[in-house]
Structure 1
Amino acid sequence: MTSSVPPPPSTDSLAGALPDDLPAHRREVFEARVQRWWPDLVEALTPLYPEAPDVAVRLVETCARRFAEREDELHHLDLERSLAPDWFQRPDALGYAAYAERFGGTLRGVADHLDHLGSLGVTYLHLMPLLDPRPGDSDGGYAVRDYRRVREDLGTMADLRELARALRARGISLCLDVVLNHVAREHAWAERARAGEQRYRDYFHVFPDRTEPDRYEQTLPEVFPDSAPGSFTFDVELDGWVWTTFNHFQWDVRWANPAVLEEYADVLLHLANQGAEVFRLDAIAFTWKRLGTNCQNQPEVHCLTQALRTLARIACPAVVFKAEAIVGPDDLLAYLGEGRHHGKVSDLAYHNALMVHLWSMLASRDAWLSSAALGRLGTPPSSTAWVTYARCHDDVGWAISDEDAATAGVEGSSHRRFLSDFYDGSFPGSWARGLVFQANPATGDKRISGSLASLAGVEAGDPHGVDRVLLAHAVTLGFGGLPVIWMGDEVGLLNDPDWADDPTHAGDERWVHRPRMTWPVRDEHGVLPRLRHLLEVRRSLPHLHASTPAEVLLPEETGVFTVLRRHPLGPMLGLYGVTPEERVVPWSTVHACGLDGEALDHVTGQRVRCDERGVVVAPYGVLWLTRQDG
C-alpha cells in the first residue's frame, strides 16, 4: 500500500456492521480481504468522487453487513473459488442462456429441466431478466422496478435461492442481469424523485428545460430510433426533462452521485447472497455521461466496474462480473482491463465482434475481412475470458467499421447493407430467414433478428443449413473463453411463427428468436449428437483454456477462418470452412504454426498428413489440429 492511500477501516471500527457473534475465523478472513482490496477500491473511487476515502469506508461497511449475512455454503464456495480463480476459463466451462418462462415456465419449472443442462455439460446458466419489472412494456425485463424481488409470474426470491442451490449441487453457476444504467420509471427511487424528494432527484439526470439536453443530443446516437427517438423525456410529475437513453420509461441514473454507487453495491451483494455467482452488468457502457461525447465508454465506466468488482472480492469472491458491452473493437478490450485497470474490472465480456464476423463470413463466403478485423483486437488479461456465442437474446447489429472493411477492399456501408439484405432474406440467393429490427433510414442500417437455425438456412431447407449451425457452434467453442449456447440452438429451433401473438411483444421482432423450449426435447435436424461430440472434444483440450489467447491469422485460403492458440503443450490450430465448397489450406500455413509432419484432428480423431495439396477442409468443415504428441 502506498503512503497516498489512507489506511483501511479496522474490524473494530466496523462493529456496527460485523456482529459480535461472528466467528473469529470469519472476522479474520474479512479483515484480510479488506487489507488486500482496499488500495484497489480507493484507486477506483478517487477519479470519481472528491470524498473517495469516505465513500470507500461506507462501501466496506456495506460489505461487512452482507458478508456477515452470507450462509456457510456460500462462504465455502468463496473459499473454493479463491483457490481456483480460473473456474470460468477452463475448457469444461460451458454456458447456456434462456428466458426462465420460455425454458421452464417458472423458476421451479427451470429446476425440473436441469437434467438437460447436465447432459450438455453446462456449468453456467444465464437466466434472462427475472427481477421485478415495470408492468406492461419493460424492454424485455430491462426496466426494473425492484431489484430485490422476482417477477411474480416466475416465483419468489425464496424460489430463486432454491434454484441457485439446485444449480450449485450440479456445478452450475447462476448468472443474473443487473441493469446499471437505468431503472424503471416505477422504481421507488423514481417515484420518490417525482414526489419531490431532492435526495432522489439527485439519483437522476434532471433538467428544467431543453438547454442542456439539446447540447448533449448533438453527439448522442439513438439506440431505438424507431420506437424511442431522442435521449430525454419530459415528465410532468417530475416537472423536468429526465435522461432516458433507451425508452421513456427507463430513467438513467446519475453515477456521479456516490449514493447511486452505494445503492447498487448493496443490491449486488444482496443478490450474491441469494446465490447468484455471475452478474451480467447490463448497459454498462452508458453509465457515465460527458458533454460533447456519445456518452459511452467513458474512462469512469471502468473505475465504477473496478469499484464494484473489488467490493465483491471483499464480500463474496465466488462472484464474477460480465460486461454487457456491445461496443466497437477499439473500445472492447477495456472492459476486461487495460492500463491501470488491467485485470481489475470485468472478468468476462461479450465478444460481440466474433458473432458479427461469423455471420459476415458465412454470407460473403470469405474470411479475409473478418480475420483482419478480429486479428487486430488486443489480448485480454490472462485472468479473464471472452464470452463467445453465435446468437443471443438480442438482434444482430452489423458492427463492422469502415476501416476494417477497407482492408478487404470493401466499402463499409455497402457491406453492412449487403449483410442486412442477406439475413432478412431479400438478397438474391439468400438462405437466411431473419426479420428486420430497428431500421435506420438515415444510415441505411438494418439490425436483424432470427434464431441460429433460421439465419443459417435450416428454415429455408438449404442442404448446408445444419452444417452451418454446427460450424457456428464450433467457432464459438474453439475460440477459447466461455462459450454460451442460446436456448434451443442446441437442437436447431427455428423462428417462432407466433412471436407477435402476445401484444406486449408485437412491436419487437426480437421475440421471433425467443421460442418456447419444447419438452421432451425434440431434435428434428440432428444437431444435438453432433454438438455433444464437439463439447466432449472441447473438454479434452487444455489448449482451449481462456488464459491462452486466440490468434486470428490472415488466411492464405480465404474460404477458411484460421485461429491459432499457442499453448505450453504445443500449438492448436482451428480451421473453419465458411463456404459450401471444399477448400485446401496450404501446408505452409500449418507448418508455420508449428505442426510439422503429421497433425491430429481432434474432431474426427484422425491423423492429418501433409500432401501436395495441403489440408483439405470440407464444406463448412471444422478441424481442431494439434501435434500428435500434444
Structure 2
Amino acid sequence: MIKAISREQLKTIRKRFERLYGSQAEKLLERFVMVIGRYGVGVDVAPEVDKWDERDSVLITYADTVCHEGEAVPLKALNRFARKHLTGAIRTIHLLPFYPWSSDDGFSVIDYRKVDPDCGEWGDVVALGQNFDLMFDFVLNHCSAKSSWFKDYVAGIEPARHYFLPMNPKKDFSEVVRPRTTPLLTKTRTRDGESHVWTTFSPDQVDLNWQNPEVFFEFLDILFLYLSKGMRIARLDAVAFLWKELGTNCLHLPETHEMVKLFRDVCEIVAPKAIILTETNVPHAENVSYFGQGDEAHMVYQFSLPPLLLHAFTTGNGSYLTKWAMELEPPPEGCTYFNFTASHDGVGVRPVEGLLPNDERDALIKHVEEAGGRVSWRAMPDGSKQPYELNITYYSALSIPGDTKLGAARFLCSQALALSMRGIPGIYFHSLTGTENYTEGVEASGQNRTINRRKWQLPELKEHLKDGVGKLVFNRYLRMLRRRTEHPAFHPDAPQEVFDVNLDLFVHRRTSLDGEEAVFCIFNLTGKTKQLKQLCPDPKFTEAEVFYDILRARELKPNSKGYTIKPYQALWLVPRS
C-alpha cells in the first residue's frame, strides 16, 4: 500500500517547489504525488528508526577494484571478497559509479539507469546488498557528452533539448568558482547551429540545467530506481555547483541548498531509512553549511580531516589538528559527519584554507611530492593556478622509506584516529589494503588521480595481503573496525571532547549516549617513545587506576613514571575501577 502523505509533508514539498520553480509549484506537487510508488518505492514504508549506530562504517570502492578471471564480472568477485573478509567489520559498501561512462573513471555518466556490463548487472548489485548496505553516487551536476540526453540536445529533441546550459561566450564569467583549469564553456555543433555549453569539470562532462523542473523529475525517477535496488546512502556528487546564476560565483547558491533539502524531504516520505550525503570539497565553514538547520544533508564529508591528519603525522605537530577539532561544532540533531582520510579523489587542499598557514600547506605539498605523489590545480579568476588536491595513496603519504614497520604503524595510527572521531567512518579500499602509489597507472592514463585507483586481480591481491605492507595493514585494520563496533561510545552521535595536552599527541574522549561508557582516544603523532606522567586532564581519566585498551584487548596500568607510549601508537582506553 502506498504511504499516505501528511498535509505537513505536502506543504513542505510545495514550499520547496515554490522557491525553486515559482508559479509551477502546484502542478509539480501533483506530479510528485503521482510518482510515489514507482519501482515499488513509497509502498509499505517501514517506520522511521535510528539511522545509524556504532556498527556503521563504509567501504569506498569501485565496482571493478577486484577482478578475477574465474568470475564472470567484477561485482561478483567484489561480493566474494567482501563476504569472506569484511563481514562484521564493514556495514555499507559505497560503489563508486558503476553505470556506463565515458571519462573520469565513472563520473561522466552515459546512462544512470544501467549497470556497466563490464562490471555486471543489477542482479549483482542487489546480491551485494543482501549482505551489506549500499551507497550509490547520485551524479547530479553533469552527465556525459556521449549520453542520449546530450545527443538529443544536439539533435533538438524534447525534453533533453532543454536539459543543458548554452551560454553566450561574450558574457562575463569571471566570478564563477572553478575546480579545474579546463575552459568553462565547450563549443558544440547542434541542429540550431553553434552552441557553447557549460562544462564545469571537463568538455566531456556537460552541466545540467536544474532550473528546468524536467531535470529534477528525471533524477527523482533515478533516485527511486536506486532506492528500489537497495541504496541506503545517496552521495550527492559535486552538488555545490548544481545551480547556475550569471553574476554570482555559482557555488552554494540558495537554490542548491533548497534542492538538497527537497531530496531529503522526498526520502523522509518514501524511504525514511535513507541518508543524504553531500560531497562538497570546499573550506570547512562552507562544507558544514550543507547541514542547513538540521533539514538538509543527513551527513557531510569531513573534508578538513584528511589534510590536517596528514600534516599532523608528517610533522609530529598536532596543534592545527587539535585546534580545529576543539572548535568543531557538533552537527545538528539527526545529522553526522562522514570521517574519511582517503577516497578515489585526492586529498583536498581547499578544506585547510584558514586552518593551515600557507607555509605549512606548502610544506605538506612538498612532502607529498617527495613521497611520489602529484598535485592537481584549479584556475583562479586572475588566470593564476592554485593547488586543488594532492594525489597520492594515504599509505604512501605516511610510509617511511627504509622502515616499513614504522611506516605501517604511522599509517594505522592515522586510521585509528579517524575511526575514533564523532561520525561515521569511510574507509577507501586502497587504505584497507595498504596499497602503494600506482605510478605506472598514472603514466599510462595521464591522469593524476589514477595513482590511487589501482585495479587488483584477486590472486594478485591475495599475494599482496600475505606479505609485506598488505600483511602489516589489512588484518590489523579489520580488527580495529570489528572492535570498534562493540563500543557504544563510538556511536556517531556520541559526544566528543578534545583536549589540548601536548603538541605531539592528539587526545579526545568519546562518551556513550547513556553516559555509561567513556573511551579516551590517545595518539602519538611522532616516531619517538613518549614517557608521560599523565595523558589527559579529565577526572575520569586521572582517577582511574586501570584501563582496558580496546585496540590491544588487554589491561593497561601506569608504571611509576606514568605512561609509556610507543612511536605512532594509538590507544582507545576504557577506565575500569
Do they superpose with TM above 0.5?
yes
Say which SS state the counterpart of residue 137 (structure 2) adopts. Answer: strand
- Superimposed CA distance per residue, residues 346-380 of structure 1 (whole angstroms, 9 cap, x where no aligned partner): 22221111112110111221111122123323211
- Superimposed CA distance per residue, residues 32-55 of structure 1 (whole angstroms, 9 cap, x where no aligned partner): x45563233233333212132332
Cα offset, 1:180, TM superposition: 0.5
Does residue 1:114 correspond to 2:56, yes or no? no
Cα offset, 1:546, TM superposition: 0.6
Cα offset, 1:56, TM superposition: 2.2
Number of residue-to-residue matches in the alignment: 556
8 Å CA contact retained: 2:534, 2:542: no
Pick the aligned partner of 2:35 from 62, 66, 74.
Answer: 62
Does residue 1:222 correspond to 2:178, yes or no? yes
Does residue 1:144 correspond to 2:109, yes or no? yes
8 Å CA contact retained: 2:141, 2:208: yes
> Aligned pair in 2 of structure 1 residues 241, 577: CA closer, same or farther (>3 Å)?
same
Does residue 1:334 correspond to 2:297, yes or no? no
Who is 2:476 aligned against? 530
- Superimposed CA distance per residue, residues 198-236 of structure 1 (whole angstroms, 9 cap, x where no aligned partner): 7534322212x3233xx2x212233222xx2x3222222
> Aligned pair in 2 of structure 1 residues 457, 162: CA closer, same or farther (>3 Å)?
closer
TM-score (norm: length of structure 1): 0.82
For the residues of structure 2 that align with 1:300 and 1:142, how far apart are their CA atoms? 23
Say which SS state the counterpart of residue 93 (structure 2) adopts. Answer: strand
Cα offset, 1:424, TM superposition: 1.1
AA paired with 2:325?
A: L
AA paired with 2:572?
A: W
Who is 2:215 aligned against? 260
Does residue 1:558 correspond to 2:503, yes or no? yes
Who is 1:8 aligned against? none
- Superimposed CA distance per residue, residues 438-497 of structure 1 (whole angstroms, 9 cap, x where no aligned partner): 477935526322222211115764552100121122012111322122113223122224
> Aligned pair in 2 of structure 1 residues 109, 448: CA closer, same or farther (>3 Å)?
same
> Aligned pair in 2 of structure 1 residues 220, 329: CA closer, same or farther (>3 Å)?
same
Deviating more after overlay: 557-566 vs 287-296: 287-296
> Aligned pair in 2 of structure 1 residues 551, 285: CA closer, same or farther (>3 Å)?
farther
Who is 2:57 aligned against? 94
> Aligned pair in 2 of structure 1 residues 196, 493: CA closer, same or farther (>3 Å)?
same
AA paired with 1:85?
A: D
> Aligned pair in 2 of structure 1 residues 436, 153: CA closer, same or farther (>3 Å)?
same
Who is 1:103 aligned against? 66
Q: How does 1:491-502 map to 2 (within 5 A)?
A: 491-500=433-442, 502=444
Who is 2:518 aligned against? 571
AA paired with 1:161?
A: G
AA paired with 2:239?
A: I
Pick the aligned partner of 1:418 from 357, 363, 376.
Answer: 363
Cα offset, 1:512, TM superposition: 1.6
8 Å CA contact retained: 1:582, 1:619: yes
Does residue 1:84 correspond to 2:49, yes or no? yes
AA paired with 1:437?
A: S
For the residues of structure 2 that align with 1:400 and 1:121, how far apart are their CA atoms? 29
For the residues of structure 1 that align with 2:125 and 2:110, how far apart are their CA atoms? 22
For the residues of structure 2 that align with 1:446 and 1:149, how far apart are their CA atoms? 32
Does residue 1:596 correspond to 2:558, yes or no? no
Who is 2:242 aligned against? 287
Does residue 1:160 correspond to 2:116, yes or no? no
8 Å CA contact retained: 1:63, 1:311: no
For the residues of structure 2 that align with 1:140 and 1:459, how far apart are their CA atoms? 31
Higher relative contact order (CA 8 A, sep 6+): 2
8 Å CA contact retained: 1:587, 1:613: no
Does residue 1:179 correspond to 2:139, yes or no? yes
For the residues of structure 2 that align with 1:334 and 1:595, how far apart are their CA atoms? 37
8 Å CA contact retained: 2:508, 2:522: yes
Cα offset, 1:570, TM superposition: 4.3
> Aligned pair in 2 of structure 1 residues 263, 333: CA closer, same or farther (>3 Å)?
same
Say which SS state the counterpart of residue 133 (structure 1) adopts. Answer: coil
Say which SS state the counterpart of residue 145 (structure 1) adopts. Answer: coil
AA paired with 1:106?
A: P
> Aligned pair in 2 of structure 1 residues 114, 607: CA closer, same or farther (>3 Å)?
closer
Pick the aligned partner of 1:490 from 415, 429, 432.
Answer: 432
8 Å CA contact retained: 2:39, 2:224: yes
> Aligned pair in 2 of structure 1 residues 118, 447: CA closer, same or farther (>3 Å)?
closer
Query: What are structure 1's unaligned runs of at least 5 residues?
Result: 1-25, 406-411, 426-431
AA paired with 1:353?
A: S
For the residues of structure 2 that align with 1:295 and 1:584, how far apart are their CA atoms? 52
Does residue 1:433 correspond to 2:433, yes or no? no
> Aligned pair in 2 of structure 1 residues 198, 537: CA closer, same or farther (>3 Å)?
closer
8 Å CA contact retained: 1:203, 1:260: yes
> Aligned pair in 2 of structure 1 residues 198, 168: CA closer, same or farther (>3 Å)?
closer
Does residue 1:275 correspond to 2:230, yes or no? yes
Query: What are structure 2's unaligned runs of at least 5 residues?
Result: 68-72
8 Å CA contact retained: 1:488, 1:517: no
> Aligned pair in 2 of structure 1 residues 437, 459: CA closer, same or farther (>3 Å)?
farther
> Aligned pair in 2 of structure 1 residues 460, 176: CA closer, same or farther (>3 Å)?
farther
Say which SS state the counterpart of residue 359 (structure 1) adopts. Answer: helix
Cα offset, 1:614, TM superposition: 5.0
Cα offset, 1:437, TM superposition: 3.3
Pick the aligned partner of 1:204 from 164, 169, 182.
Answer: 164
For the residues of structure 2 that align with 1:315 and 1:498, how far apart are their CA atoms? 46
8 Å CA contact retained: 1:587, 1:610: no
AA paired with 1:167?
A: L
AA paired with 1:582?
A: T
> Aligned pair in 2 of structure 1 residues 401, 290: CA closer, same or farther (>3 Å)?
farther
Q: How does 1:471-550 map to 2 (within 5 A)?
A: 471-500=413-442, 502=444, 506-520=445-459, 521=462, 522-523=464-465, 524=467, 525=469, 526-550=472-496
> Aligned pair in 2 of structure 1 residues 257, 460: CA closer, same or farther (>3 Å)?
farther
> Aligned pair in 2 of structure 1 residues 501, 291: CA closer, same or farther (>3 Å)?
closer
Who is 1:231 aligned against? 184
- Superimposed CA distance per residue, residues 167-208 of structure 1 (whole angstroms, 9 cap, x where no aligned partner): 3432x112111210011122222222222247534322212x
Say which SS state the counterpart of residue 46 (structure 1) adopts. Answer: helix
Pick the aligned partner of 1:361 from 291, 302, 312.
Answer: 312
For the residues of structure 1 that align with 2:475 and 2:106, how far apart are their CA atoms? 33
Cα offset, 1:306, TM superposition: 1.6
8 Å CA contact retained: 1:437, 1:508: no
Cα offset, 1:246, TM superposition: 0.4
For the residues of structure 2 that align with 1:59 and 1:168, how far apart are their CA atoms? 28
Deviating more after overlay: 192-201 vs 94-103: 192-201
8 Å CA contact retained: 1:371, 1:561: yes
AA paired with 1:181?
A: N
- Superimposed CA distance per residue, residues 379-427 of structure 1 (whole angstroms, 9 cap, x where no aligned partner): 112322222222111111223545323xxxxxx22222111110111xx
For the residues of structure 2 that align with 1:607 and 1:42, how far apart are their CA atoms? 58
For the residues of structure 1 that align with 2:406 and 2:317, how far apart are their CA atoms? 16
8 Å CA contact retained: 2:163, 2:215: yes
Percent identity for Structure 1 against Structure 2: 22
For the residues of structure 2 that align with 1:383 and 1:350, how far apart are their CA atoms? 15
Who is 2:70 aligned against? none
Q: C-alpha root-mean-square deviation of aligned residues, in Å?
A: 2.6
- Superimposed CA distance per residue, residues 70-93 of structure 1 (whole angstroms, 9 cap, x where no aligned partner): 7xxxx5xx52xx35332xx31112
Say which SS state the counterpart of residue 482 (structure 2) adopts. Answer: helix
Deviating more after overlay: 576-585 vs 173-182: 576-585
Does residue 1:385 correspond to 2:336, yes or no? yes
AA paired with 1:338?
A: G
AA paired with 1:376?
A: E
